[in-house]
Amino acid sequence: MTETFVYAIPMRTRFRGITVREGMLIRGPLGWGEFCPFPEYDDREAASWLATAVEQVTVGWPEPVRELIPINCTVPAVDPGRAHAIVAGSGCRTAKVKIADHPDSLSEDLARVEAVRDALGPDGSVRVDANAVWDVETAVTHIKQIDRAAGGLEYVEQPCRTIEELAAVRRRVDVRIAADESIRRADDPLRVAVAGAADIAVLKCTPLGGVGRALQVAEAAGLPCVVSSALETSVGLAAQLALAAALPELEFACGLGTLSLLEGDLVRESLRPVDGFMPVPKSPPTPDPALLEQYRHPDPERTRWWEDRLTRVRALAPPK
């Protein structure tokens, strides 16, 4: 029987609507992998997350073409003072700012990106993520205002939900548009490029089904790529770094410094950026027994929920 472990790690700040990050570690021949689809995802969608963990512990990753990955810091929906402190203390020259976390957030968003620009100075890059909550008209209006407040945006990530809406926004603003959900939840990622919906593809290998699958998606999309975290511990984050290391070209900083959002980690040598860069691990990190005990899920019912979920999702995997 495969060894598994269910964890629960508190968040420093509410992010994606959660205050505790839950997931599972799975052990295989090559070490440990991570299975951590968010609770609202159904079993079919969670199967890709499991495929990433299985790839990590049984197949491994392609050879890297670079050893260091440029990283952006991540700024949650916090007040301007906290946003400034996060960026100033990160060592990163690019900041990804969460916006649009509630319907009346525009004034807060403007203040947040102004603080981030102040912390970065004129030469840093500011990008924002709206998580697909706007309609086209709202996106166009808000992007123009946020672009001015930021002193120029590098790009806006997923301002609207559909590919058609992204294309409409892209035609009406001067800021580059990045697609995230429209790529990882699409049956055909090439549609984003063909529709003229985005300038940049955001790749998250964890929900895409692994490093190998994500490289295929990158090739099909035909766009410059940014690799971004799915809020994993260092065990799962290693796969994201392996993807960033294997991409033929990497023009933009990647969103992989997300351990700063968690109160802890499951390994001693956490995968965190130093001076805006992260080294590429040669193999999956090994969890520390003391940290496993510290972050073992305290709720037996919730632990069973994860174990049952793994059993159901495994049953969806095609026979090999």
123 class by beta-carbon count within 10 Å (0-12 exposed, 13-18 middle, 19+ buried) = exposed
Tokens 């992204």 map to which residue? 166
Where is 128: in which H helix or E strand?
strand 125-129
DSSP track, 12-73: EEEETTEEEEEEEEEEETTEEEEE---TTS-HHHHHHHHHHHHHHHHT--PPPS-SEEEB-E
Catalytic residue among 144, 204, 282, 320: 204
Tokens 């295989």 map to which residue? 28
Neighbours of 126 (CB within 10 A): 26
Active site residue 204: yes
Bridging pattern class, strands 73-75 and 94-98 = parallel
Give the separation between CA 20 and CA 13, rounded to whole angstroms.
9
User: Which amino acid appears at position 220 of this protein?
Assistant: A
Catalytic residue among 96, 98, 144, 282: 98
Three-state DSSP at 203 gives strand
From first CA to last CA, the distance across the chain in angstroms is: 18
Which sequence positions are flagged as catalytic?
Answer: 98, 204
